[in-house]
């Protein structure tokens, strides 16, 4: 197993161990969150977890949870989520995040922001001093507006690109039926302001800045042969 996968496994297992019977859970998206769901699925099948319900943040999360028989529920059927566990693409020292590498950030933000506790699982490579240093900001846009949204993002200092699909001709289409524009900014120094400004552009559904939402971040690290988990 490569080093990055080892770190992901370790944080995912540590996060899944926090889950208790009776909880309503936000089920995250991406490769690290998928390992969390697999771990929960194993505990569920073994009878170690009872009476849990999952609110999926994506088609991926719903499909994986269903494979293990984890009961699913929608946001409109619940009045709270006890714990959401999700991955991230970039994390700053204040625990602000960039998400949306899997084009799921709209539903991820709905679910993660509804949780009483939002736990983020990442490997050490996701940490940065200033958001935007390493990852382009995903912006979900309605298909008819992608050109004008890209123009606006350019005016804000970003370098926007329409995200293209792999093994499908044309763009990535989100679970909500929209497109994703990835906008590279040199540095996002005021993430709360930028989150609001971008969401104010007509045609934007949601952007991948998650500001002030994460309660705790579990970071997988490797020192020599030894893998460990650090808490932020
Ligand atoms: C999907 C996400 C993912 O959580 C994020 O891309 C991290 O994924 P991975 O754990 O595969 O690195 O935001 O929209």
Using CA atoms, how far apart are residues 47 and 117, in angstroms rounded to an integer? 24
Is residue 225 pLDDT above 90, yes or no? no
Checking if the pLDDT of 130 tops 90, the result is: yes
Q: How far is the CA of 211 from the centre of ligand 1 (A)?
A: 16
pLDDT class of 17 with cuts at 50, 70, 90:
very high
- Please report which helix (H) or strand (E) contains residue 36, including its range: helix 31-45
What's the pLDDT score for residue 2? 85
At 129 the pLDDT is: 98
Statement: residue 4 has pLDDT above 90: no
Cα–Cα–Cα angle for 100, 101, 104, rounded to 5 degrees: 45
Distance 35 CA to ligand 1 centre (A): 12
Class of domain 3-128+212-231 as given by CATH:
alpha beta
Read off the DSSP letter of residue 156: T
Q: What angle do CA 129, 135, 136 make, to 5 degrees?
A: 130
How much is the pLDDT for 118? 98
Q: Structure pTM?
A: 0.97
Question: Using alpha carbons only, how large is the chain's radius of gyration in Å?
Answer: 17
- Which residue's CA lies nearest to atom 1 of ligand 1? 102
Q: Measuring from atom 6 of ligand 1, which residue has the nearest CA?
A: 101
CA angle, 20 then 26 then 32, to 5° = 90
Query: How remote is the CA of residue 87 from the centroid of ligand 1, in Å?
Result: 5
How many CB atoms are located within 10 Å of the residue 57 CB?
A: 30
Give the model's pLDDT for residue 226: 83
What's the rounded Cα separation, in Å, for the pair 232 and 213? Answer: 13
What local confidence, expressed as pLDDT, does residue 195 receive? 98
CA of 34 to the centre of ligand 1 (A): 9
Nearest protein CA to atom 8 of ligand 1, as residue: 30
**Residue 148 CB coordination number (10 Å):** 13
Ligand 1 atom closest to Cα of residue 105: 14
Q: Is the CB of 60 under 6 A from ligand 1?
A: no
* Sign of the CA dihedral with 188 first, then 60, 8, and 87 last: positive
pLDDT at 43: 98
* DSSP SS3 for 131: coil
Give residue 50's pLDDT.
97
CATH architecture of 137-203: 2-Layer Sandwich (3.30)
In sequence order, the β-bridge partners of residue 216 are 119
pLDDT in tens, 60-106: 999 999 999 999 999 999 999 999 999 999 999 999 999 999 999 99
Find the helix packing angle between 31-45 and 59-67, rounded to 10°. 30
Question: What's the whole-number mean pLDDT along residues 208-215?
Answer: 98
Domain boundaries, the chain: 3-128+212-231, 137-203
Whether residue 108 lies in the annotated active site: yes
Q: How many CA atoms lie within 13 A of 125 on its CB side?
A: 10
* The pLDDT of residue 26 is above 90: yes
Top mutation candidate among 31, 62, 85 for ligand 1, by most atoms within 8 Å of CB: 31
Mean pLDDT, residues 207-228: 94
Check whether 227 has a pLDDT greater than 90: no
Tell me the C-alpha distance between 34 and 27, whole Å: 9
Instruction: Give the atom of ligand 1 at the shortest distance from the alpha carbon of 104.
Output: 14
Predicted confidence at residue 201, as pLDDT, reads 98
Q: 107: which 2 tokens? A: 């539903």
Q: How confident is the model at residue 172 (pLDDT cuts 50, 70, 90)?
A: very high
Q: Supply 27's token pair.
A: 């089920």
Helices (H) and strands (E) in the chain, counts: 6, 13
As a whole number, the mean pLDDT across the chain is 97
pLDDT tens digit sequence for 189-200: 999 999 999 999
Mean of pLDDT values over 103-114: 98
Percent of the chain scored above 90 by pLDDT?
95
Average pLDDT over residues 122-148: 98
């Amino acid at each position: 197993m490569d080093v990055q996968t080892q770190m992901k496994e370790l944080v995912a297992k540590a996060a899944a161990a926090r889950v208790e019977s009776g909880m309503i859970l936000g089920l995250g998206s991406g490769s690290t969150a998928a390992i969390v769901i697999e771990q929960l699925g194993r505990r569920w099948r073994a009878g170690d977890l009872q009476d849990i319900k999952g609110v999926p943040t994506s088609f991926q999360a719903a499909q994986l949870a269903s494979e293990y028989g984890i009961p699913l529920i929608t946001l409109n059927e619940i009045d709270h989520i006890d714990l959401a566990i999700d991955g991230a693409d970039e994390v700053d020292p204040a625990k602000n995040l960039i998400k949306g590498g899997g084009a799921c950030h709209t539903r991820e933000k709905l679910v993660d922001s509804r949780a009483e506790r939002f736990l983020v699982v990442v490997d050490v490579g996701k940490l940065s001093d200033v958001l935007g240093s390493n990852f382009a900001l995903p912006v979900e846009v309605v298909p008819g507006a992608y050109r004008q949204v890209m123009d606006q993002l350019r005016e804000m200092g970003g370098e926007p690109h329409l995200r293209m699909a792999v093994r499908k001709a044309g763009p990535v289409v989100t679970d909500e039926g929209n497109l994703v524009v990835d906008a590279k900014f040199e540095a996002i120094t005021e993430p709360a302001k930028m989150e609001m400004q971008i969401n104010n552009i007509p045609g934007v559904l949601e952007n991948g800045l998650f500001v002030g939402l994460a309660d705790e971040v579990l970071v997988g690290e490797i020192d020599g042969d030894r893998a460990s988990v650090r808490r932020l």
